[in-house]
Amino acid sequence: MNILDFFEKFKDEKACKEYLRDLRMKEGVICKHCGSKKHYWLASKWQFQCSSCSFRTTLKSGTVMENSNLSVRKWFLIMLFMTSTKKGMSACEIKRQMEHSRYNTVLSVMHRIRDLMGKRDNMYQLNDMIEFDEGYFETEVSEKVRSNLKRGKGSQRQLNVAVMAESVPLENLDTGQKSKSCRFFKMRVLEDQSAEAINNVVKGSINEKSIVFTDRSASYVDIEKYIEVHVMEKSTPEVTKETLKWVHIAISNAKRNFLGVYHKIKGENLQRYLNEFVYKVNRRYFNSVFERLLVASVFPYWYNSD
């Protein structure tokens, strides 16, 4: 969906609310009181009513928009801005485009959407053949974090990110030429440099039947416990270009993207920016990432706990 389609389909707040109502009816509403999935639409109140216990659910409750005062249309617009360009947009730019007065509102909405993108991608594990490596991302240390560090020096800190890519070797049967096609990626900020931090990421991100390629690092000693086969290769320029080709491309693209769009990224928010980057890369061949994000935003199982 481009900007023109958006303004035709979502011309005012009412059109957006009707779309949201229909989408939620289709995807399902779960009653926070009794857990029932059967609801009626109370047209006079603009709320869903549970058919078992009569508990009412507002249009935004149980979605990514829960407890937000921002209009549905502005939420949709922010989701459109975040997904309509490959590079993404800063909160500052979106604030300006929407003529919204408060920067912090826009930023916190964008962070919620980034959390949502992460949740969505966490539903899937990587499969088959996987390249695994680490990238170091420069982040800003916020005041809050700096005062907690023992020797609170320096405003920059490098964070270690595990980067994984499903990478399938291909061979052209006529020419014998070899290449690799890449499917899905994952990027996770590591808690520290320990083998345990790596193990946790591998357990959570990679299917146990997979074959994983890494370079030789002491942190990778245990990962074979959690997968089918672990292939370690000594780090050389060839390994970088061949065995770990896609993870390295992803790391440099992510870094270039962050430098170009965002002024500074705070360490505690790095995972969110990675979520957005990976979400879009994983859907690079999809037609409407925006519409898929709308569906994810009302997924009934994520926002029903509190």
Binding site for Zn ion (CB under 5 A): 31, 33-34, 36, 50, 52-53, 55
Half-sphere exposure of 121 (CA within 13 A, CB side): 26
Q: Which is nearer to Zn ion, 56 or 292 (CB)?
A: 56
Smallest distance from the beta carbon of 29 to Zn ion, in angstroms? 10
Neighbours of 44 (CB within 10 A): 5
Q: Which is nearer to Zn ion, 33 or 264 (CB)?
A: 33
Which residue, chain included where needed, has tokens 């770990």? Answer: 244
Q: Which of 4, 95, 85 is nearest to 280 (CA)?
A: 85
Which residue, chain included where needed, has tokens 């499903």? Answer: 166
Neighbours of 242 (CB within 10 A): 14
Smallest distance from the beta carbon of 211 to Zn ion, in angstroms? 47
Residue 196 CA, chain-centre distance (Å), reads 23
Q: Which is nearer to Zn ion, 37 or 209 (CB)?
A: 37
41 contacts 25 by C-beta, under 8 angstroms: yes
Q: Which is nearer to Zn ion, 51 or 194 (CB)?
A: 51
Which residue, chain included where needed, has tokens 């146990």? Answer: 208
Smallest distance from the beta carbon of 35 to Zn ion, in angstroms? 7
The set of long-range contacts for 296-299, using a CB threshold of 8 Å and a minimum separation of 24, is 296/64, 296/116, 296/117, 296/119, 296/120, 297/63, 297/64, 297/65, 297/75, 297/79, 297/113, 297/116, 298/20, 298/23, 298/24, 298/27, 298/62, 298/63, 298/64, 299/27, 299/120
Smallest distance from the beta carbon of 108 to Zn ion, in angstroms? 30
Smallest distance from the beta carbon of 47 to Zn ion, in angstroms? 13
Q: Which is nearer to Zn ion, 19 or 41 (CB)?
A: 41
Smallest distance from the beta carbon of 235 to Zn ion, in angstroms? 57
Q: Which is nearer to Zn ion, 51 or 252 (CB)?
A: 51
